Amino acid sequence: MRLFLLFCIGFSLLATFSFSQTEKEGLTHFLERKKQTLSPKEHALVYSFYEERNFQLIWITDTQPNQLAFDLKESIAQIRFDGLNPEEYELSEIDRLFQQFLDRKTPPNQKDLLELEGLLTLSFYRLIDHLKFGKVDPAELSGIWDLKKQREPAVILDFLKRVTGFWYLSNLLEEARPSLSAYAAGRKTMMELELELLHAAEEWDEIRLDKVLKLGDRHPKVPLIDQRLRKLGFGFYSWLDSIPDLYDSSMWQAVRRLQVDFGLEDDGIIGKNTLTALNASPKTKMQQLAVNLERMRWIPEGMLEGEKVLVNIPDFKMAYLDGADTLFSSDVIVGTVRNKTPIFSAELSHLIFSPYWNVPNSITRNEIVPAVRRDPSYLTRNRMEIISAGRVVNPSAVDWNSRSFPYWIRQQPGPHNSLGLVKFMFPNSHHIYLHDTPAKQLFFRQNRAFSHGCIRMKKPLEFALFLLREQPEWTEEKVRTAMTQTVETEVRLSQKIPVWIMYFTYWSDDQGKALFKNDIYGLDEQLWQKLQE
């Protein structure tokens, strides 16, 4: 009897070893076939992961997909709410294999079991990769994104190693997602829009107009516009509605609310941009959400921590945040489509009161030199001076018709100065900074893309006082005095503050409501196309 038991134990161990060898051979063969989908480093990491486990399977138990496998399959199906395509993660093939094993009409095929194991592992790896670092490399886009987040295969592998320690795989995937409240709100909005699309797809026809509509105009498309405004949550029913084709005051107010929500000029005039907002179907908004969720996945770790200045270009706003709490905010003016404000980060280190404006070479060459040729008094009227080797040069000594211009121009401090009375410096390779402006009237506009790239503030005095709140020697009186001098005054901050210049055409408010903004630089479409590849 003892000999029989020893024989059985030995046979069992031999069978286990043989099965492990089969798994090793099957998974090795699978990884070799899928080599083109992984970099050499990633391939080596996944192989070493299984090697460390002695090729013990993760997703298969007793020749059947286990609970982790079911959780992963469901998570892949739900990834569409992150703006990603489930088919990128082999959902159809995984579904086919699942169905085959659950059918139970034929005994499980070990080759197919190992195929499913490998597919689930690579799909999980790709899911974590895309959720943690983004699917698209921003360097591939012909744009202005200059924020770098290093893709780290070792971090992805760590998630893979932790799979078996979770009862619910969704909790582990949640760790890979950005911890921004706007990201979670975006996923929720994506679910709502999908339902809306299912119920209203056939009714969402594009509204077209043959002319611009203003308050008091009559047009046969007015009832359709009224219906669309109500569907979008901006219109309301009124007992005064008596002339169906009249663009009346109640609709005008609704259009203005729509324009404000989309960051448009709130003049109530229905032109090209307002029509685009009216025609923003659930599908259009889902695409806009998808590209912005991808941008959030590009954000480097640490952006959400501590105190920081955040500028969102399409929203024309800046905020000083501590964690998620807003301590200060201001409207801003950003670069034009031709002179785009770049997307980057730096550290705010000092302020300069009563600054000179050192005119960039491009502005000197393209704007100022031609202006002086037309009007020799241009420099004097604008309090500008020519500098060479640190000395002021008389304009009459300059050959303004020469092709070369070996000088630089600066504008003297004062209320006329293009930088206003103060600038906020965060040294960077783009030569971008925050500053005051004498053109205060531009802040009455909703679309505020007017600068050469730098960021103009509506509330520069208030921001200076806020930044210097822990430097008591800088009283309000002293700050105001420093802002009205004929010489510059530089003030170092007691600590450097991270500055993030961002580009989001979707964000959410404190209540989680989705806010869609106009894509002023036309960057969304290019990224959407990349997400489809």
DSSP, collapsed to helix, strand or coil, labels residue 207 as coil
In whole angstroms, how far apart are CA 118 and each of 70, 123, 182, 415, 447? Answer: 15, 8, 34, 67, 51
Distance between CA atoms of residues 126 and 93, nearest Å: 15
Is residue 229 within 8 Å of residue 258, measured between CB atoms?
yes
Distance between CA atoms of residues 126 and 269, nearest Å: 47
Q: Which are the contacts of 344, defined by CB distance < 8 A and separation ≥ 6? A: 146, 147, 428, 430, 432, 501
Is residue 508 within 8 Å of residue 514, measured between CB atoms?
yes
- Which residues share a beta bridge with 386? 393, 409
Q: Which are the contacts of 196, defined by CB distance < 8 A and separation ≥ 6? A: 282
Cβ-based neighbour number of residue 145 at 10 Å: 18
Distance between CA atoms of residues 407 and 385, nearest Å: 10
Distance between CA atoms of residues 80 and 326, nearest Å: 31
257: part of which helix (H) or strand (E)? Answer: helix 249-261
Q: Which are the contacts of 214, defined by CB distance < 8 A and separation ≥ 6? A: 247, 268, 269, 270
Q: Is 519 exposed, middle or buried (0-12, 13-18, 19+ CB in 10 A)?
A: middle
Is residue 360 within 8 Å of residue 452, measured between CB atoms?
yes
In the structure encoding, which two tokens stand for residue 210, read together? Answer: 């043959």
Is residue 486 within 8 Å of residue 333, measured between CB atoms?
no
Dihedral sign for Cα atoms in the order 206, 210, 212, 216: negative
Query: Could you confirm whether 454 is annotated as catalytic?
Result: yes
Q: Scanning the structure block, which residue is given the tokens 């770790």?
A: 301
DSSP, collapsed to helix, strand or coil, labels residue 270 as strand
Dihedral, CA of residue 499, residue 501, residue 505 and residue 510, to nearest 10? 10
Q: Would you mind telling me the total number of residues written for the chain in this entry? A: 533
Q: Which are the contacts of 190, defined by CB distance < 8 A and separation ≥ 6? A: 80, 81, 82, 83, 286, 289, 290, 293
Dihedral sign for Cα atoms in the order 378, 379, 383, 384: positive
Query: Could you confirm whether 8 is annotated as catalytic?
Result: no
Catalytic residue among 43, 219, 430, 435: 435
Angular region, 512: left φ>0, alpha ψ -120 to 50, beta rest: left
Residues designated as active site: 435, 454
